[in-house]
Structures are given as C-alpha cells and as structure tokens.
Amino acid sequence: MVDAVSQPVRRPGALKRVLERFPFLPVLIIFVALLALNGLYQPRSVSLVGLTGLVKTYLALVLLAVAQTYVVYAGDIDLSAGAIVSLVNVVIVSVMAYLGDGTFSVLGAMVIGLLVGLACGIVNGVVVAVFRLQAIVATFATSIFFTGVALYVMPVAGTPAPATFWRTYGGRILEIPFVFWLAIVLAAILYMLARTRLAMQLLAVGDDAQGAYQSGLPVTAIRMRGYAMCGLFAALAAFCVTGDTASGDPLVGGAMTLNSVAAVVLGGTALAGGFGTVVGSVFGALSIGLISSVVYFIGVPSEWQNLARGAAILLALMAGVLVGRRMRS
C-alpha cells in the first residue's frame, strides 16, 4: 500500500543549517566570552605577550584535542593519547640528548617522534578495529603499556631538551612569535585534512558503522587510519610539550588525556561519532586554557582555583551539549 506520509514537512531552520555547517559556533561564543572576561580582569592577558603565553602553553592540548577528534569522529575514543605524548616526549628528548644539540639532531628526533606516535596509533587501531575490543578499556590498557615503554626509555624525569629546540619554540621569527607561525601552519594542515576523503569516511563510520560497511567502505581500515592520525597529532602535541617544558618526563602527558576528551566535547563533536569539527576542538582546548587563566585573574583564592576551574569546565561542557542540541533540533 502506498504510504501517503502525513507528517508535516520539517524544513530545517536557518539556524540549524548554519549549525550543521559550523557546529563549533557555541564554543566560539564561549571562547570569545572567556577572552573578553580575561581582558576585563587583566587587560595584559589579551596583549600579544599574554596571548603568546596562552598559545605556547595550550598548543599541546590543542593538538591533542585535534588528535582525539579524529577517533571520536568514528565513534571511538583514545584514552592513551596522553601516554603517547609522554612516550614521544621522552623519546625525542633522549634522541636529541644522544645526537647532541643541532638542527640535524632536532629534525631527526622529530621524525623518530612522529614514527613513534604513528606506531602507537597503529597499535591502538589494531586492538580496537581489528580485534574489536571496547575502545575505552582497550586504549586504557595500551596507555599503561605506552607508559611502561616511556618509563623504560627514561626512568626519571629531568633530562633537559637541547636549547635549540625550546629556544626556537619560545622564540620569534620576523618579530612574530614562533608559536603563531605554528598555529598558522596547523590551521593550513587542518583545512587540508578536512577536505580529504578520510575525514568524510570517518564521520560516515561514526554515523552508522554497519551502513558504511554495507556501502562498501573499508570500515576497519578507516578506523585504523583514525587512530593513526591520532597518534601522529599526539606526537605533534608532544613536540609542543617538549618546547614548553624543555625537558623529558615519562608521565607528562597522563593528565592531558581527559582534558582532550573534554575539549572535543566542548567543541561540539558528538562522542557517539558522526558529527563534529576539528575547529571546535581547537577552540574547546583554548577555552579550557582560558578558563584556567580567568579563574586566576578573577582573583579566586589559590586553594579554590581548582574547584572553580572544574566547576566552570563542567558547566561549559553541559552548556555545550545543551546549546548544541537545542540549536540543532
């Protein structure tokens, strides 16, 4: 029998369409509001110096949030992202310590670091996509393993990174802080990555893995590539951590994992997969950074700062989820 559907036509509202295209709008608003608050309480914090400091400190989290986004696209999660940061950090610091201070040494170490990150990502991809273990527990297990390897490479924190490395990271080129150049390069890379087949395929897998498979997409390989991307970006995050802290620490990234997940959610990406943007994650990570500085500048007593920060992040997460849903429906 013919189905003369009697449902009213749902014409998507203009706002909904804008939000479908730019799902990071809510976090952008949060980001601007936080920036304004910062400027209000401490005008210097929005000066060039203040912003340089913010980017320098939080570029690592930004990159890790981007890393996390690629796996979350497909409905997966990577709880080992922070451990990969630690591992790459100690590996490159050790390599540079071995090869000495020099451009060749730094570049060589970075290539090795990227390979290590990629390898970790592939390991995660294998256990989650090929062995079909639950992502949340399997990547927790690999995080323990990666931490073990990091401890093997460098049992105690403290080996310094060569001066070339952190001086460059903290320095300026053509009067513009190096980290801003990095940010520009990152923006270009993210723009290009968003136009690749992988981004669309990951999102399609996150939407409906079975449907994607039945459409002829190589779902297992796509999820693996998502984890590989995550490993690579985690390695990039480790470079920033190394530039910022100027030393090796086998546990440095551990605390960053959950923040990267929070940044992704804050950026409007659905943890269930299929929907989101890396731009949102970038601003999500920066917002987490700004929350910390607002809490500081607003004059919260030092022992209350963690609580204020935690509560503000929780509220921002809740607001992000609610606003995103309200505006989309």
Partner 1 sequence: MSAVLDFAKRPLVVAMVLIVALLFVGNVLSPGFASSQQIMRLLIVAALLGIVAAGQNLVILGGREGIDLSVGGVVSLSAIVAGNLMSGSDAGIPLAILACVATGAFFGLLNGLGVTLLRIPPLVMTLGMLGVLQGLLVVIRQGIPSGRAAPALSQFVTQPLLFGLPGIIWLWIVIGIVMAFLLARTVYGHRIYAIGSNEQAAWMAGVPVRVIRVSLFVLSGVFAAIAGMCLLGYSGSSFANVGEQYMLPSIIAVVFGGTSLAGGKGAYTGTMAGAVMLTVLQSILTTVNIDESGRQMIFGATLLVLMLFYGRGRAMRA
Partner 2 sequence: MSKLKISGVTKVYGATAALSHGDLEVDAGEVHVLIGSNGSGKSTLCKIVAGSVKPDSGTVVLDGKEVVIPGPQGAKALGIGIFYQELSLAGHRTVEENICLPDLPMRGPFVDRTALSERAARYIALFDGVTGDGFAPDVTVDALRPDQRQLVEIMKALATEASVLIFDEPTSALDRAQAERFFDILRRLKGDGRAMIFISHRMDEIFAIGDRVTVLRDGRTIGTMRIDETEPQAVVRMMVGDEPALAAEAAPTPIVDATAKTTDVALSVRGFSGQGFSNVDFEARKGEILGFGGLHGQGQSAVLRALFGALPVSAGNVELSGNAHAPSSPRAAIRAGLAYVSGDRGRDGVIQGRPILENVTPIHYLRDRLFLARPSALREKAKPAMDALNTRFAGFSHPIGSLSGGNQQKIVIARWLIDRPGVLLLDDPTKGIDLSAKADLFSLIRRLASEGLAILLYSSEDAELLSNADRILVFNGGSVTRELTGETRTRFNLYEAAYEAV
| List of residues contacting partner 2 (CB under 8 A) | 1-7, 9-12, 16, 20, 192, 195-197, 200-201, 203-204, 207-208, 210-218, 274-275
Question: How is residue 36 written in tokens?
Answer: 């304004």
Distances (CA, A) of 48 to 44, 188, 275: 8, 22, 34
Nearest to 153 by CA among 109, 121, 111: 109
**What's the distance, CA 250 to chain centroid?**
19
State yes or no: residue 308 binds partner 1 (CB under 8 A). yes
Least distance from C-beta 55 to partner 1, angstroms?
Answer: 23
Nearest to 279 by CA among 9, 27, 4: 27
Contact criterion met (CB below 8 Å) for 179 and 59? yes
Give the nearer residue to partner 2 in terms of CB position, either 17 or 172: 17
Give the nearer residue to partner 1 in terms of CB position, either 99 or 133: 133
Least distance from C-beta 160 to partner 1, angstroms?
Answer: 21
Distances (CA, A) of 300 to 31, 68, 195, 285: 20, 31, 43, 22
Binding mask 162-201 for partner 1 (x = CB under 8 A): ----------------------------------------
172 strand-pairing partners? 177
Least distance from C-beta 98 to partner 1, angstroms?
Answer: 18
Distances (CA, A) of 226 to 55, 60, 105, 259, 325: 26, 19, 29, 19, 25
Name the binder of 271 from partner 1, partner 2, none, CB < 5-8 A by kind: partner 1
Name the binder of 94 from partner 2, partner 1, none, CB < 5-8 A by kind: none
Nearest to 293 by CA among 34, 65, 61: 34
Least distance from C-beta 6 to partner 1, angstroms?
Answer: 23
Give the nearer residue to partner 2 in terms of CB position, either 25 or 237: 25
Residue of 64, 109, 118, 313 interacting with partner 1 (CB under 8 A): 313
Give the nearer residue to partner 1 in terms of CB position, either 155 or 299: 155
Nearest to 250 by CA among 105, 92, 102: 92
Contact criterion met (CB below 8 Å) for 204 and 214? no
Residues that bind partner 1 (CB under 8 A): 79, 127, 131-134, 136-138, 140-152, 155, 209-210, 213, 219-220, 258, 261-262, 265, 271-272, 303-311, 313-314, 317-318, 321-322, 325
